[in-house]
Structure 1
Amino acid sequence: MADAMNEAAELFDGTAPYYAAYRQGYDERMFAHVAECLGLDGTGWALDLGTGTGAVGLVGSVIAVDPQPSMLAEARVLAAARGVTNVEWRLGEAAQLSAMGLPSLRLAAMGAAFHWMDRAAVARDLEALIDGGGAIVLASGGAPGDVSRRRGWM
């Protein structure tokens, strides 16, 4: 497990400042849509898995997990600059979910990092952590209209 985390950390070594400066963020309308669909009221826990340089909002507290120490460091700086104080930063990877001692989650969110994960195993682990009214959200950075709405998906 340590070898896999080291490989993931090395893969993105040195990229955090570029992610922070050049990676396109998510449209605020997407966050509003998720909040409306799930009835999020600013309480509960969210998991931002593979957080990179930023974390999701919408809930009372966020656990942001990434295998790259410099990504977490950059995310802390950006969060502090925005006055965000409700994030717990954790060095780790998706394969460690069951050992992280996570609380019941209202939301688990992943962006492009999801394609690096063992998706079936992550979905199984998250299903056990998501409360009855919660959901797993996969956010795409693609252009509007790239992904069509499908049954069972928001």
Structure 2
Amino acid sequence: MTVDPHAFVSAEDHYARFRPRYPDDLFALLADRFGLDSTQHVLDLGCGPGTVALELASMVNTVFAVDPAAGMLKQGQALAVEHGIRNIRWQQGDSNALLSLGLPPLDLVVMAKSYHWMDRVQVLDDLDGITTEQAGIIILSAGPPGTTPLPGWAPVVADVRAAYLGTTRRAGSGTYPEPTETYQSTVERSPFSTIEVVRFDQVAVRSTEQLIGLQLSNSYSTPAQLGERQESFEEDLRRALLAYDPSGRYEESIRTEALIATR
């Protein structure tokens, strides 16, 4: 699968503001598991606005934050400046051209909700040639589809979105095909076939406006996808959510599954 560099155009600010942070326990686990001591070179592949890169920066020598979308990189650079982080190298690039990025030997590679956009077999083969022998490959996701119950407000959002954009899951100028096998099955056939899966659960409570902002961060309902109908979409979604729960507080159980793969 080729990543569409335009899939998240116009969503960058919403992505940075409304997507949930990964749990602190995840980064503590990575630091302990891979002995992160400010000497490592780490790749955040498909970094978006630096959700992972910004957290890892204090633990390693350099984070190479790579993404095909210039807007996401710009957003991440601004956040790094805001937080005084100087050891992230932001680089526009695609997983299909991984070997041409001029990266040093890597001690850790993280793909956070980006692996599904890639040629999943090829990227693991390519990483085999540019990682150290003890390197770890970390794939973050919500787990296999259907394993985490949807919150009660999800059908409300889905109905409003379908009224504006249809039921096909869009992604930039195309659509998103679901994987035909689990990530674990794919990784088990790769050079990184020793696998550990660790799960983290959080509860997020969002306001009405935060939940609307979250929808605008998705590739299938970006402001660019909605165009001139964005304002009316927001109004209709706000009305539907408040009809569902007038409190304006919407709870969601968030599962983060870390697939940790080594040779």
Is the TM value for this pair above 0.5? yes
TM-score category of the 2 structures, normalised to the smaller one: 0.7 to 0.9
Which residue number corresponds to residue 40 of structure 1?
A: 36
Q: When the two structures are superposed, what TM-score results if normalisation uses the length of structure 1? A: 0.86
Which residue number corresponds to residue 5 of structure 2?
A: 9
Counterpart CA distance in 2 for 1:114 and 1:131 is 20
Structure 1 residue 141, shift from structure 2 partner: 5.1
The answer as to 2:24 corresponding to 1:28 is yes
Task: Give the number of equivalent residue pairs.
Answer: 148
**Aligned residues of 1:26 and 1:141 also touching (Cα < 8 A):** no
Q: Deviations over 1:37-71 (max 9, x none)?
A: 11121112101100001113331001100011110
Change (3 A) 1:120 1:82: same
Counterpart CA distance in 2 for 1:73 and 1:48 is 15
Which region of structure 1 is more displaced relative to structure 2, 101-110 or 127-136? Answer: 127-136
**Aligned residues of 1:60 and 1:86 also touching (Cα < 8 A):** yes
Counterpart residue identity of residue 34, structure 1: L
Which residue number corresponds to residue 109 of structure 1?
A: 110
User: RCO higher in 1 or 2 (8 Å CA, sep ≥ 6)?
Assistant: 2
Structure 1 residue 128, shift from structure 2 partner: 1.2
Which residue number corresponds to residue 97 of structure 1?
A: 98
Q: When the two structures are superposed, what TM-score results if normalisation uses the length of structure 2? A: 0.52
Change (3 A) 1:135 1:151: closer
Counterpart CA distance in 1 for 2:260 and 2:9 is 38
Change (3 A) 1:14 1:38: same
Counterpart CA distance in 1 for 2:68 and 2:261 is 30
Give the fraction of aligned pairs with identical amino acids, expressed as a percent.
34
Q: Deviations over 1:119-152 (max 9, x none)?
A: 1111111111111221111123567365778896
Change (3 A) 1:90 1:151: closer
3-state SS of paired residue (1:25): coil
Counterpart CA distance in 2 for 1:149 and 1:66 is 20
Q: Deviations over 1:75-115 (max 9, x none)?
A: 00111111110011111110010111110001111111110
Instruction: Decide which structure has the larger Cα Rg and report it.
Output: 2
Change (3 A) 1:116 1:150: closer
Change (3 A) 1:50 1:152: closer
